[in-house]
Structure 1
Amino acid sequence: MFLKMVRDDFRRNKIITAAVFLFIMFAVMLAASAVHNIAHLIPSMADLQKRAVPADITQMHSGEFVQEDIDRFTEAQREHIAMQETMVLLTLDGSHIHFGDNQTMAGTVQDISFVVQNEKFDFILDLNNEKLDVMEGGVAVPIYFMEHYHLKIGDTITVKSGEYAKDFVISDYARDYEMNASLTSSKRFVLNQADYDEMYTMQAGEREYLIEFKLTENGDSQAIQTAYIEAGLPANGPTVEGEVFLLFNALSDAAVALVIILISMLMIVIAFLCIRLTFLATMDEDVREIGIMKAIGISKREIRKVYLTKYRIMSVIAGLTGYLLSFFVVHLFNRNMRLYLSSDSAGILPYVLSFAAPVVIYFLIVMYCKSVLKRIDKVSAVEALRSNMTAPGKKQKYRFPLLHNRFFSLNYYMGFRDVWRRFKIYRLLLLIYIVSTFMAILPLHVYNTMNSPEFSTYMGIGKSDMRIDLRMTDTITADFTRLHEELVNDSDIEKHAAYITSAYQVKNTEGSWDYIYIEIGDFSLFPLNYLEGRAPQGEGEITLSYANASASGLNKKVGDEVVIKAGGKEKTLTVTGIYQDITNGGKTAKAHMDLGINNDAVLWMHVSMNVAAGVNIQEKMNNYQTTYGFAKVTDVRDYTQQTLGNIIDQMGVIVIGGMIITVLMIVLITALFLRMLVSKDMSQMAIMRSIGLTSKQIRHQYMAATLMVLVLGTLFGALASNYIGEFLVSLAMSFMGAAKIELVQVVWQTWLLWPLLLMVAVAITLSVSCKPAVKGDLSARLKV
């Protein structure tokens, strides 16, 4: 009998059942895809790490050094160091790399280096995670450049530097554990030993070095870095620990997975609300049947079982359908992972773990349904036979009489009035609209924020039009001075500021010495947004990045003192501000130029500048790139987009997909809500028609009420995405060094395009859904 009643209910409520089914299916599909991504990400990272054998400590260095000194240090630290290897990089500017129809890689923010495969560890792999073995005349190109410039295996690139010029055929993608991510500022092209030797002999490119250490199982990374500093070994470049490479590799895919999980959770909430709407509508229709069942002695538990069985069956079928669809959807989100990390190293594990999504959602829905169905227990058989279960329990005070209406037409006023009088019913729809808008707008805000010029401030860079980075060469000081003089005399440059970053020793919380990268210059011209305090303005002042100031770093606050050492002399600096920086592991600092340059450990130099009004930025960039071929000239906006390219691209997919799904959900929910409302108002509609109101006028009342709720829901949802969304994004980014993200909203997208899109979709839904509802036999409806 119960199965027959469930089957009849499915047939009677096809649209409602389909709507709830779709919400559950979408929620499971997205949740399973996110879990699948995470389950794939973890073993993929482990497999890549196992095969690539990355360094635990990498010291980048420019300039000459004696390898025997490194060897002696390694032998002295055998307790901590298992292996040591030095990779020689031949670094060229992108303008020296030619491909396609007279195109070059000029303008890339990445440092391009040509290398040969290592012998001991830090191997560069192919797409099968096998150690690359490049044949003579071939080159393995980093995945980043293959994607960015749409290169393919078999294409030719030409390297031209001074008297050196040679064509190379692209033979492989280079999957580089240490330099895969766009967040790392360098990329390695792999050559055959013979081709590399020729390039080396012809002195093509600047020589740079990666002095790498692989630690023993119990090796102490911090102890090695401290000993390295105290030994005075070559350190003309940043030091990077292996954990940073792990973070950068996992970041983009983990961020996408977290966003998908958030959207899935919001969809589950909407599914719950939708089930509640369905229940209210069904109860209004079945209230007399419920009364009869109670009157003939059927228990409350058995009556609940009738309705619960429906949702059990629906949850199982929708869950399995969503789970199967996730196998196809997941490829939209994990393409980046499969390309940069591993094609398929996780086996069946992701499929097994992602099955938890339909199981968990099934139990959540069943538990929620049980709580909702308790409403049946509160009504006696007599009450069920006499009244409408969802009708108000007491008379409401009569408000908003028609006599007081001065601004709206009669039908619109009646619709607005109905929202106020029955707000307990409409508040459910309002909540759904708020959650749906939040789900669509938040990814859009994140996407716009990453594409915004202001995002550079979260990378520790003041907002400017362009910047020029100088490579570490023997003539860098002279080149830097010449560039500065030319900028002073260039009328096209409105303002500019030079910055020099050096490595200093800093006393940590335990009293020992670590490295810290301090940038000196005038930070008033291109200011950062400070979480606390202000920029350094004089001698003895320093600002710290959030990661450096936090408890896991130096554990400092504004007003605290920091002790640094340069040239064997200690200086005590006062912290005047804390800023956000997601580069270099987030651990940077800035000080006034009065601190002085640590000439023994200069890492890099750059100049930020704004061009005068009317000056073409691209032309000015090209002029300086031509004049200073050894430098890297970039547009700051392009710098952030290239650095965060993978995340931005994946976020764009989420934005489009999220909006499409949200609009479809709102259409279905609106139709579902209207059905519930109409089922409650049949007698009232019949009375209105009997006194002369047309079907069109009645439809306008429902449209006015629903659109009013839609406008309010869109407003509150957009505001929630601004404030609550900002909190959630900041919480996630705090692990990277940015604790307070200010989301950028494009006004016409948030407050015009999105509301207009929803209003059109809902208006069409209302028009289509209302037509059959407000027509029919008056006599039959008056009997209800």
Structure 2
Amino acid sequence: MFLKMVKNDFIRNKIATLAVFVFITLAVILAASSINNIANLIQSMKELQERAVPADITQMHSGEFDQLEIDRFTEGQRKNIAMQETMVLLTFDGSNIEFGENQTMADTVQDISFVVQNQQFDFILDLNNKKLAIKEGEVAVPIYFMQQYDLKIGETITVKNGNYKKSFVISDFARDYEMNSSLTSSKRFVLNQADYDEMRRMRAGELEYLIQFKLNENGDAQTVQTAYIEAGLPANGPTVGGKIFLLFNALSDTAVAMVIILISILLIIIASLCIRLTFLATIDEDLREIGVMKAIGISKKDIKKVYLNKYRVMSVIAGILGYLLSFATVNLFNSNMKLYLSSDLSGNLKYVLSLIAPIFVYFMIVMYCKKVLKRMDKISAVEAIRSDIMERGKNRKYRFSLLKNKVLSTNIYMGLRDVWKRFKIYRLLLFIFIVCTFIVILPLTMYNTMNSPTFSTYMGIGKSDMRIDLRRTDRITADFNKLQEELKNDSDIGKYAAYITSSYQIKNAEGSWDYINIETGDFSVFPLKYLEGRAPESEGEISLSYANASKDELNKKIGDQVTVKAGGTEKNLIVTGIYQDITNGGKTAKADTSFGINKDAVLWYIVSIDLIEGVDIPSKMAYYQNTYDSAQVNDIKEYTQQTLGNIIDQMSTIVVGAIIIAVIISVLITSLFLRMLLSKDMSQIAIMRCVGLTSKHICQQYMAGTMLVLVLGIIFGVIASNYLGELLVNMAMSSMGAAKIELVNIVWQTWLLCPLALIAIVGMTIYISCRIAIKEDLSVILRR
């Protein structure tokens, strides 16, 4: 009997059942997809680490050094160090790399190096995660450049510098654990030993070194780093720990998974509210039947079982369907993972972990159903048989009587008045519209924020029109001085500021020495937004990045002292400000020009430029790019997009998915809500039609009320995405070095395009739903 009743309920409430089923399925699909994504990430990262055997400590160095000193140091640290290997890099400017039809890589913000495969660890892999073995005349190109320039296997690239010129056939694409991510500023091309030896013999590129250490299982990285500094070994470049490479590799896919999980949680909430709406409508229709069942002695438990079984069956079917579909859906989000981490994601871990999603959703839905069904306990058999509706309580006096309306048309006024009278019912719909708006606006504002020129301030860079990076060459200092002189005399330049980044030693919270990159210059020209304090303005002052100032690192606040050592001389500096920076692992610092530079450890030169109004920025960029071969010229937007390319691409996919989900939610929930409301009001609608109101007039009333709720939902949804969304983004980004990101709202998108699209979709849904329900035969309604 119970199965028959459940079956009949399915047939009778097709729209409501379909809506609930769709939301449960969507929730399971997204939740399982995100868990699947995380499981794939764990599996692929583990496989990549095992195959690549990355270094635990990498010291980048430019300049002369003695390998024998490194060998002696390694032998003295055998307690901690298992292996040591020094990779020699031949670095080139992008303008020296040609491909296609006279195209070059001059526009890249990445440092380009040519290397040979390591012998012991830090292996560079192919797309099958096998150790690259390159034949003579061939080259393996980093995945980053494959994407950026749409390169294919079999195409050629030509490397030229001075008297050297040679073409190489692209035989593979390099999956490089340490330099995969766009957040790392260097990329490695892999050559055959013979080609590399010829390139080095002809001095085609500038020499740089990666002095790498692989630690024992219980090796202490901090002990090794401190001992390395105290030994005065080569350190003209940043020091990078293995955890930073892990973070950079996992970052974009983790961010995607977190956003999907957030959306799936919201869908579970919506599914629960959808069930609530369905229960209210169904119980309202079945009130007399419930009274009869109670009167003939059927227990409350058995009556609840009739309704509960329906959602148990639905949750199981939706859970299985969502679980199976998630394996197809996840392919929309893991293309980046397949490219950069592992082409084979066929492990079994995802099948087990993804089961968490349907099981969790099932128990959440069943528990919520039981909670809603407790309403039946308050209904007596006599009251249920005599009542037409469940709404009981004290008579209330409502404001906004019809006689006082002097402005709006009667139908619109009655619709708006209905929202005020029955706001307890409409508040569910309001919440749904807030969630729909939130789901669309938050990913959209995140995408716009990352594409905004102001995002550079979260990368420790002041906002400017152009940025010129000078690469390390023999004439870099001369070029830097010449560039500043030319900028001073260029009438198109509004303002400019030069910055020099050098490596220094700094005393950490434990009293031992670490390396730190300090940028010196005049930071008042292109100011940053500081979380606390201000920029350094005189000698003896320093500002720290948020990550560097945190408790896990230097543990410093405004007014504290830090001790910096350069050339054997220690200086005590006062912390004047804390800023945000997501580059270089978020660990940077800034000092005024008066602080001086560490000439023995200069890492790079940067010049930021603003042009006067009316000057063509691309033309000016092209001029300086052609004039200075060793320079990399970009506008700030391009620099940001290249650095955050993977994350921005993935976020654009999420924006499209969020819009589709919001549309589905809006249509189904609006249909379901109006079904419930029209079912409750059917007698009242029949009376209105009897006294002469047309279907159009009645439809206008419901249209006005629902549209009012939609507009309020859009307003609150945008506000929630701006404030709550910003809070969530800041919580996620704080681990990267940005604790306070201000989301960028493009007004015509946030307050015009998205709201108008939602209004059009919901308006059409209301019109169709009302038209179908209100045209029902009056004689049937009045006989009920």
| TM-score, normalised by the number of residues in structure 2 | 0.99
Alpha carbons of structure 1 residues 474 and 72: separation in structure 2 relative to 1, 3 Å: farther
1:218 maps to 2:218: yes
- 8 Å CA contact 1:44–1:346 kept in 2: the answer is no
Q: Secondary structure at the match of 2:736?
A: coil
Q: Secondary structure at the match of 1:82?
A: strand
What is the alpha-carbon distance in structure 1 between the residues aligned to residue 502 and residue 408 of structure 2?
Answer: 69
Deviations 1:615-674 (A, max 9, x none): 121111111111110122122110110111111101101100110111111101000000
- 8 Å CA contact 1:540–1:573 kept in 2: the answer is yes
Tell me the equivalent position of 2:516. Answer: 516
Tell me the equivalent position of 2:396. Answer: 396
Report 1:577-588 matches (<5 A).
577-588=577-588
Tell me the equivalent position of 2:252. Answer: 252
- 8 Å CA contact 1:283–1:389 kept in 2: the answer is no
Which runs of no fewer than 5 residues in structure 1 stay unpaired? none
What is the alpha-carbon distance in structure 2 between the residues aligned to residue 751 and residue 64 of structure 1?
Answer: 59
Q: Secondary structure at the match of 1:735?
A: helix
Letter in 2 for 1:333: F
Letter in 1 for 2:586: G
- 8 Å CA contact 1:504–1:566 kept in 2: the answer is yes
What is the alpha-carbon distance in structure 1 between the residues aligned to residue 739 and residue 398 of structure 2?
Answer: 51
Tell me the equivalent position of 2:563. Answer: 563
User: Runs of 4+ in structure 1 displaced over 3 angstroms?
Assistant: none
1:712 maps to 2:729: no
Tell me the equivalent position of 1:600. Answer: 600
- Deviation (angstroms), 1:345: 5.1
- 8 Å CA contact 1:28–1:319 kept in 2: the answer is yes
Letter in 2 for 1:530: Y
1:620 maps to 2:635: no
What is the alpha-carbon distance in structure 2 between the residues aligned to residue 37 and residue 780 of structure 1?
Answer: 53
- Deviation (angstroms), 1:392: 4.2
Tell me the equivalent position of 2:295. Answer: 295
- Deviation (angstroms), 1:783: 4.0
What is the alpha-carbon distance in structure 2 between the residues aligned to residue 87 and residue 780 of structure 1?
Answer: 86
What is the alpha-carbon distance in structure 2 between the residues aligned to residue 623 and residue 398 of structure 1?
Answer: 73
What is the alpha-carbon distance in structure 2 between the residues aligned to residue 219 and residue 731 of structure 1?
Answer: 32
Tell me the equivalent position of 1:667. Answer: 667
Q: How many residues align?
A: 784
Report 1:424-573 matches (<5 A).
424-573=424-573
Alpha carbons of structure 1 residues 405 and 341: separation in structure 2 relative to 1, 3 Å: same
What is the alpha-carbon distance in structure 2 between the residues aligned to residue 167 and residue 476 of structure 1?
Answer: 27
- Of the structure 1 ranges 768-777 and 328-337, higher mean CA displacement relative to structure 2 is found in 768-777
Tell me the equivalent position of 1:110. Answer: 110
Tell me the equivalent position of 1:134. Answer: 134
Q: Secondary structure at the match of 1:408?
A: coil
- Deviation (angstroms), 1:398: 2.8
What is the alpha-carbon distance in structure 2 between the residues aligned to residue 167 and residue 382 of structure 1?
Answer: 92
Tell me the equivalent position of 2:411. Answer: 411
- 8 Å CA contact 2:389–2:680 kept in 1: the answer is no
What is the alpha-carbon distance in structure 2 between the residues aligned to residue 66 and residue 664 of structure 1?
Answer: 65
What is the alpha-carbon distance in structure 2 between the residues aligned to residue 390 and residue 598 of structure 1?
Answer: 79
What is the alpha-carbon distance in structure 2 between the residues aligned to residue 100 and residue 487 of structure 1?
Answer: 33
Letter in 2 for 1:641: Q
What is the alpha-carbon distance in structure 1 between the residues aligned to residue 772 and residue 467 of structure 2?
Answer: 64
Letter in 2 for 1:143: I
Deviations 1:315-374 (A, max 9, x none): 011111111111111011001101110122561111111111001100110000000111
Which runs of no fewer than 5 residues in structure 2 stay unpaired? none
- Of the structure 1 ranges 578-587 and 594-603, higher mean CA displacement relative to structure 2 is found in 594-603
- Deviation (angstroms), 1:217: 1.6
Letter in 2 for 1:548: N
Tell me the equivalent position of 2:739. Answer: 739
What is the alpha-carbon distance in structure 2 between the residues aligned to residue 263 and residue 416 of structure 1?
Answer: 31
Deviations 1:389-426 (A, max 9, x none): 43242222132111211221110000000000000000
What is the alpha-carbon distance in structure 2 between the residues aligned to residue 503 and residue 775 of structure 1?
Answer: 78
What is the alpha-carbon distance in structure 1 between the residues aligned to residue 700 and residue 343 of structure 2?
Answer: 55
- 8 Å CA contact 1:396–1:421 kept in 2: the answer is no
Letter in 2 for 1:236: N
- Deviation (angstroms), 1:473: 3.0
What is the alpha-carbon distance in structure 1 between the residues aligned to residue 748 and residue 259 of structure 2?
Answer: 24
- 8 Å CA contact 2:710–2:759 kept in 1: the answer is yes
- 8 Å CA contact 1:453–1:636 kept in 2: the answer is yes
Letter in 2 for 1:610: D
What is the alpha-carbon distance in structure 2 between the residues aligned to residue 91 and residue 776 of structure 1?
Answer: 78
Tell me the equivalent position of 2:631. Answer: 631
Tell me the equivalent position of 1:79. Answer: 79
- 8 Å CA contact 2:25–2:322 kept in 1: the answer is yes
Tell me the equivalent position of 2:36. Answer: 36
What is the alpha-carbon distance in structure 2 between the residues aligned to residue 501 and residue 565 of structure 1?
Answer: 15
What is the alpha-carbon distance in structure 2 between the residues aligned to residue 53 and residue 346 of structure 1?
Answer: 21
Paired-residue identity, %: 72
Letter in 1 for 2:14: K
1:235 maps to 2:235: yes
Tell me the equivalent position of 1:728. Answer: 728
Alpha carbons of structure 1 residues 172 and 697: separation in structure 2 relative to 1, 3 Å: same
- Deviation (angstroms), 1:779: 3.6
- 8 Å CA contact 2:238–2:515 kept in 1: the answer is no
| TM-score, normalised by the number of residues in structure 1 | 0.99
Tell me the equivalent position of 2:176. Answer: 176
What is the alpha-carbon distance in structure 1 between the residues aligned to residue 540 and residue 457 of structure 2?
Answer: 24
Report 1:366-377 matches (<5 A).
366-377=366-377
What is the alpha-carbon distance in structure 2 between the residues aligned to residue 398 and residue 582 of structure 1?
Answer: 56
